[in-house]
Homo-oligomer: A and B are copies of this chain.
Amino acid sequence: MKSNLIIKFETILRRNRQRLTAPKRQIFDYLLTTNQPVSAVSIAKNNPNINSSTIYRILNRFVTLKIIKIVPQGFKIRYELGDGFNQHHHHLTCENCGRAVAFDSPELEHLIKKISLNLNMKPTKHHIELYGLCSACQSQ
C-alpha cells in the first residue's frame, strides 16, 4: 500500500503536468527517509545512480512546487520536505556537537505574523534557525 505522502507527491506532480520518473521518486524517497535537512551534494553522494545535473534540476523544481523547502544552516543551503509533507517546524542546533532538535511554536508563528503585518507586509514564509549549547556541551 502506498503511503499518503507518496500519493500527495504524485498528485502534485500530475497537477503540474510533470512526469513521474524514477529519479524524482528516488529523491523524494530519500528525503522522506533521511528526515533531516540535506545538501544537494549529499543527495548526489547518496544517490550516485542519478546524474548530478538531474539532481539539481529536480531539487529546483521541487522547491517551486513546494514539495521541499530550503533550510539555510550556517554557511550552507540544505533541503528538507516541505510543510505539506512534514509538520512545519524549525531547528535548534547545538553549536558545539551539531545535534539538532526540531520544534514548533504556535506562539512564535503568531508573533511573526504580527510583526509582518505591523510592517505592512503580507507574510508568506520564514526561515528561523536557532543555535545554542545543549546540556551535554554546556557541562564540558
**A residues neighboring B (CB under 8 Å):** 70, 72-75, 77, 92, 94-95, 101, 103, 105, 107-108, 111-112, 115-116, 119-135, 138
Contacts and interface: CB of A to CB of B under 8 A. Distances in A.
Q: Which of A92, A121, A122 is packed against the most chain B CB atoms within 10 Å?
A: A121
B108 A121 contact: no
A26 B75 CA distance: 23
B108 A134 contact: no
**Oligomer: number of copies:** 2
B132 A122 contact: yes
B101 A119 contact: yes
A128 B126 contact: yes
Contact of A72 (B72, B92, B95): B72
Contacts of A72: 72-74, 77, 127, 129
